[in-house]
């Protein structure tokens, strides 16, 4: 009788303990911050794309340093699609994969620099032409 009650006691105690799920080790604070930082970055990327709107031209730099250019054809909850204008190829990209979103084409600063260079060139030609015309 003692042996039977001992076996029953062992089964009643050991079985629930073995079926008990193993608890995960607590994550370090850096990992939790990193995931919240990634979530914040993904939200920023989604906001940038929504600001440009569907059919807006973008140039997306991914975390693996590759680039995708084209227009935004679809904005989803956890990914978006870019369609290449020339080939028509559709690329689906998840927000966490994105490093940077820029508008396609030249920046405003580049356009201003080109215009200033053209203006200085025209001014230099005008000065040389006026000096040549005056004979000096």
Q: Which two tokens stand for residue 36?
A: 């919240």
Structural domain spans, the chain? 35-103
**Residue (of 19, 16, 76) closest to 45 by Cα position:** 76
**pTM > 0.95: yes or no:** no
Q: For the stretch 28-43, what's the b/e string if a residue is b when 16 or more beta carbons lie within 10 angstroms of its beta carbon?
A: eeeeeeeeeeeeeebe
pLDDT value for 108: 84
Per-residue pLDDT of the chain (136 residues; tens, 9 = 90+): 676 766 655 556 555 555 555 545 555 554 455 578 888 888 888 888 888 877 888 888 888 988 888 888 888 888 889 998 888 898 899 888 888 888 777 778 888 999 999 999 999 898 888 888 887 6
pLDDT value for 115: 92
Candidates 3.40.50.2300, 2.30.30.100, 3.60.140.10, 3.90.1150.10; correct CATH number of 35-103?
2.30.30.100
């Amino acid at each position: 009788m003692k042996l039977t009650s001992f076996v029953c006691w062992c089964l009643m105690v050991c079985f629930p303990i073995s079926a008990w799920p193993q608890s995960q080790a607590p994550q370090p604070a850096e990992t939790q911050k990193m995931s919240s930082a990634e979530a914040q970055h993904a939200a920023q990327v989604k906001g940038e794309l929504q600001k440009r709107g569907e059919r807006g031209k973008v140039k997306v730099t991914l975390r693996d340093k590759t680039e995708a250019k084209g227009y935004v054809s679809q904005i989803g909850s956890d990914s978006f699609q870019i369609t290449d204008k020339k080939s028509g190829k559709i690329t689906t990209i998840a927000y966490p994969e994105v490093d940077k979103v820029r508008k396609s084409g030249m920046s405003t600063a580049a356009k201003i620099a080109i215009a200033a260079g053209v203006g200085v060139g025209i001014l230099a030609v005008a000065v040389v032409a006026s000096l040549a015309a005056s004979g000096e």
